[in-house]
Amino acid sequence: MARMIFRIMVLMSVLIASTACTTRGATRQDDPLYSWNKAVFNFNKAADDVVVAPVARGYRAVVPEPGRDGVRNVLNNLRSPVTFGNDILQGKFGRASKTLARFSINSTLGLAGLFDIAKRAGINGHTEDMGQTLATYGINRGPYIMLPILGPSNFRDATGFVLDFGLEPMTYMRFKGRTAVLYGRFGVNGVSVREASLDTIKTLRDNSVDEYASLKSAYEQLRANAISDGKVNVDDLPDFDDFEDEE
Amino acid sequence: MRFIKTILLGLCAFGLSASLAIAAPDDEAFVQQKANEALAVLSDATLDQTTKSQRFSRFVDEVTDVRRVARFVLGKYARGADPQKVTRFTEVFRQYASGVYESQLGKFGGETLSVTGSQDRKPGDSVVTSVISGGQLDDPIDVKWRIRSKNGVKKVLDVQVFGIWLALQQRNEITAVIANHNGDIEAAITILNNKIANQEFGDPGGNATSQ
């Protein structure tokens, strides 16, 4: 799986480089890969309209809410080692101990993560990934990039996405049918995430005046919020008086 | 004697830290009061949708600094722009923003907002943090408010929900639209007018057909 992702990333780097060369005139200061990004955005939107969203709606229609919650819980629980590793790498040992406690409780009392018993006990979950870890190390996010199927990202987060496979236990496990399990998990996770975001994405589309800009802005704000663990640094906020001509 | 002095110093230190934790108590009270008023209007079952929308629109006008937010949303295009176009944009933006806020807040019913703290950015500019919980919510939602105070008047400049500052989000979209039309503010006015005419703000009742 990691090898496949690496190949995709290499292929994309070549494509981006060629796109950047051929459409230099269309690049923008805050979005140097605009031409590539807009093309992939249109492709992703078409794929979402035709395949992903209908499957997610069907999943919602067929599987009742408790069942969908259970699937989401299992997937979140499987993600715990990656979150735990990144908690440690960021030096957030308190959050790491919560992740470990949640994983232990939900894997056992929660029947392999099907039920979020830890949350009922007051231990709320969170997620961390290597993109966030690299950010806490001071690595610049690099250009915004729209990835086929995977959606919005940037060079730091895309790199983190690949590196996270190093913290994923499945990467090191060998058993018959492993590939099918990996692809199955990827597919179920995609459908589960899309189902959970059906209403949010509809709202985003309804309210936006430019869907591409809306998604880019929302992604960048959400990532900044995740990196700061929801804390606001007031010095980073924009000044509303900058564009005033008169009082 | 030394023991009593230590106790007194400790109490002073505690009092100081407590006062630092509440950086903008007036702004916190303002948010608590106005949020309660907004939730009361939106959850009033005795009002029909039209009356509710009119009252909420008046409420948005009262609590937000629409003119300042509209100029912020225009970003660099506000500088040196035709004042008449800016005025027309401000009016159409006011209607659009009111519709967006109503569609989003209209989904709440029975929830309560509790202010949890505040932080001064600079004199007259603070961020108030709050949590909406109860009602139909499984998990509490963090909401942050950017408050501007001048001459005793307080106004909301921006609201952060689910980690997204709405005015900042709107600025990124509006400036993208204007940039795609060679810097012409008229393009943004046209798109917002279309949005308002088609009432494309999602479903205020929260019964949206998912996409």
* DSSP track, A81-126: HHHHHHHHHTT-HHHHHHHHHHHHHHHHTTTTTTS-HHHHTT----
Residue A16 pLDDT = 43
Q: How far is B44 from chain A (nearest CA, A)?
A: 23
In a domain, A243, yes or no: no
φ/ψ (deg, to 5) at B108: -80, 145
* Nearest CA-CA distance, residue A2 and chain B, Å: 31
- Rounded to 5°, angle at Cα B92 from B90 and B97: 90
Interface probe with A: pick from B118, B148, B169, most Cβ of A within 10 Å = B169
Residue A131 inside a domain? The answer is: yes
Domain membership of residue B118 (yes or no) is yes
Q: Work out the angle between the directed axes of helices B66-74 and B83-105 (0-180°, nearest 10).
A: 110
Is residue A114 over pLDDT 80?
yes
* Residue A179 to chain B, least CA–CA distance (Å): 31
Neighbours of A125 (CB within 10 A): 18
CB contact under 8 A, A217 and B146: no
Output the six-digit token pair for B70: 């509209």
Shortest distance, CA B79 to any CA of chain A (angstroms)? 7
**Which residue has tokens 């080692």?**
A81
For residues A58 and A191, what is the distance between their CA atoms, to the nearest angstrom? 10
Pairing of strands B153-161, B141-150: antiparallel
B3 lies within 8 A of chain A by CB: no
What φ, ψ does residue A102 adopt, rounded to 5°?
-60, -45
Is residue B89 within 8 Å of residue B83, measured between CB atoms?
no
- CB of B202 within 8 Å of any CB in chain A? yes
Residue B206 covered by a domain: no
Residue of chain B nearest A55, judged by CA positions: B211
Q: pLDDT at residue A242 above 80?
A: no
More confident site: B14 or A166: A166
Q: Which CATH number is B87's domain given?
A: 3.10.450.710
Residue A244 lies in a domain: no
How far A174 CA lies from chain B's nearest CA (Å)? 38
Q: Of B129, B160, B76, whose CA–CA distance to A217 is shortest?
A: B160
| Cα–Cα distance, B23 to B116 (Å, whole number) | 11
Beta bridge partners of A144: A154
Q: Does residue A247 lie in a domain region?
A: no
Closest residue in A to B178 (Cα) is A210
- Indicate the Cα dihedral angle A176, A177, A178, A181, nearest 10°: -150
Whether B210 and A57 lie within 8 Å, measured CB to CB? yes
Tell me the C-alpha distance between A23 and B112, whole Å.
51
| Tokens 């950015």 -> residue | B121
Is B207 domain-assigned?
no
Interface contact A206-B103, CB threshold 8 A: yes
- A chain contacts of residue B161, beta-carbon cutoff 8 Å: none
Q: Give the integer Cα–Cα distance in Å for A155 and A163.
A: 12
Give me the number of domains chain B comprises.
Answer: 1
B148 touches chain A (CB under 8 A): yes
Q: Rounded mean pLDDT of A213-228?
A: 95
Determine contact, residues B183/B168, Cβ cutoff 8 Å: no
Cβ of residue A225 closer than 8 Å to a chain B Cβ: yes
Q: Residue A238 domain-assigned?
A: no
CA distance A214 to A205: 8
pLDDT of residue A125: 94
Residue A90's pLDDT is 98
Total domains present in chain A? 1
Residue B129's CB is within 10 A of a number of other CB atoms, namely 20
* Contacts A222 to B, Cβ<8 Å: 162-164
Residue B147: other Cβ atoms inside 10 A: 25
Q: Do B168 and A217 touch (CB under 8 A)?
A: yes
Residue B7 lies in a domain: no
Closest to A222 measured CA to CA, from A188, A187, A197? A197
CB < 8 Å to A225, chain B: 163-164
Is A239 a member of any domain?
Answer: no
Say whether residue B32 is in contact with chain A using an 8 A CB cutoff: no
**Domain range spanning residue A191?**
2-228
User: How far is the C-alpha of A103 from the C-alpha of A95, rounded, in Å?
Assistant: 12
Is residue B77 in a domain? Answer: yes
pLDDT surpassing 60 at residue A34: yes
**CA-based Rg of chain A, rounded to a whole angstrom?**
20
Burial A46-82 (b: 16+ CB within 10 A, else e): eebeeebbebbbebbeebeeeebbbbbbbebbbbbbb
Per residue in B12-51, pLDDT (tens digit) is: 444 434 434 456 789 999 999 998 888 888 778 888 878 8
> What pLDDT does residue B11 have?
39
pLDDT tens digits, one per residue of A127-161:
999 999 999 999 999 999 999 999 999 999 999 99
Q: CB A213 to CB B173 under 8 A? A: yes
pTM, to two decimals: 0.84
Q: Where in the sequence is the domain holding B113, given as residue range(s)?
A: 22-197
Low-confidence ranges of chain B (pLDDT < 50): 1, 3-21, 203-211
- Give the SS3 label for residue B80: coil
Contact (CB<8Å) B211/A213: no
Q: Is B160 on the interface with A (CB under 8 A)?
A: yes
Tell me how many degrees the CA angle B127-B132-B136 measures, rounded to the nearest 5. 160
Decide if B208 touches A, using CB distance below 8 A.
yes
Q: What percent of chain A has pLDDT over 90?
A: 78
B8 in a domain, yes or no?
no
For testing contact with chain A, the best of B147, B172, B181 (most A CBs within 10 A): B172
